[in-house]
Amino acid sequence: MSRRITIRDVADLAGVSVKTVSRVLNKEPNVRPIMQDKVNSAVAQLNFKPNPQARGLRGNKTFILTLLYSNPNPDYILEVQNGAMEQGNAEGYNLQIFPCDHKNENLIETVSSFLEASPQDGVILTLPLSDNLQLIELLEKKGIPYTRISPFYSEHNSPSVGSDDQKAAYDMTKYLISLGHTDIAFIKGHPDHSDTDKRFSGYKQALNEYNLSLNEEIIKQGFFTFESGEDCARQLLAQKQKPTAIFASNDCMAAGVLKVSKQLNLAVPADLTIAGYDDTSVSQQVWPAITTVKQPIHLLGKMATKKLICKIKQKTWDEIQSIFECELVLRDSSSICNSTTN
């Protein structure tokens, strides 16, 4: 391994002072174009890359962003990671991850000690951490810039991005209604996730708009797990008047519903229409493939990172909260209602 190229080497080669090189590298004003050219060509010639640690030490920066998450859905997390990476790298930041367990009693302590021990320029929070008030308080207290993905609470006036879950759930419900379904069951997500409420609201909104009454008997509390989907499906499909469609708040639970339907010899979609949410791989890999909602997860990761970097650089952004549209992905688990009662 050869000796590291430093800013001094560049300065010597370009015949300028180190400060001038620094100015050019950091795009500071007040450098004559001639100087800039000299520096740039020296940089290129030596393939010089400034040492982030040295830059950080002096400027109290790290060029590291941390993604904090506690989410059992690998498809979701990986897509957020990819989006965050893409944007971060484009702007010269690296991405550090810190998976944690939101049910852990010592969460705050754990995160706090992590943040102290490993400095970073900013933090990205995903659900359900986005809504963890203690965590937000901690970040505020420490003065660490952060953005949140899909938060429910917006008191803190911190930048956030999200997708329009309510509208998507509304659209999906409307679609189910358009297929002729009137007994549309709903399986809610985990009460700790704020998504849960938004999706449920969209469902209610659509029913309301079409003058369908809200039937508490066909609204079940799930927990975003496959098993909870099964449980709810068993309850729903054991009722005298079975729903003709079940809208589950995520794909895992929808897959659970599909399993139970098959066990009960119900044909999907002929006897029962199923809809999920998230467009995770399982929704494509079961049969029939599940009709679902696709969130722009990659984009959320990207934009959260973009906003975070703006905040770090003290630049302003038009909107504190940006909401992106989801899209319906129609697959084979949904069809026109065949029920004789309708």
Partner DNA sequence: TTGAAAGCGCTAACAA
Partner DNA sequence: TTGTTAGCGCTTTCAA
Q: How many helices (H) and strands (E) does the chain have?
A: 13, 12
Strands across the sheet containing 184-188: 219-221, 184-188, 245-248, 273-275
The single-letter code of the amino acid at 279 is D
Helix 74-90 crosses helix 297-312 at what angle (to 10 degrees)? Answer: 40
Nearest 10 degrees: CA dihedral of 103, 137, 74, 90? -160
CB of residue 44 to DNA, shortest distance in Å: 15
Angle at 92 (CA atoms; ends 86, 94), nearest 5 degrees? 65
> For DNA, which is the closer residue by CB, 32 or 240?
32
CB of residue 69 to its own copies, shortest distance in Å: 10
Q: Which stretch binds its own copies (CB under 8 A): 109-117, 150-158, 174-182, 311-319?
A: 109-117
The number of residues that bind its own copies (CB under 8 A) is: 49
Residue 44 binding DNA, by CB under 7 A: no
Which option in its own copies, DNA, none does residue 81 bind, with CB closer than 5 to 8 A by kind?
its own copies
> For DNA, which is the closer residue by CB, 55 or 294?
55
Which option in its own copies, DNA, none does residue 59 bind, with CB closer than 5 to 8 A by kind?
DNA
Nearest 10 degrees: CA dihedral of 188, 297, 124, 253? 30
Residue 27 binding its own copies, by CB under 8 A: no
Q: Can you tell me which of 19, 142, 262, 313 binds DNA, judged by CB under 7 A?
A: 19
Sequence-distant (≥ 6) Cβ neighbours of residue 233 within 8 angstroms? 187, 246, 256, 257, 259, 260, 261
Residues that bind its own copies (CB under 8 A): 1, 47, 49, 51-54, 56-57, 62-64, 74-75, 77-79, 81-82, 85, 89, 92, 94-99, 114, 116-119, 142-143, 226, 252, 255-256, 258-259, 262-263, 281-282, 284-287
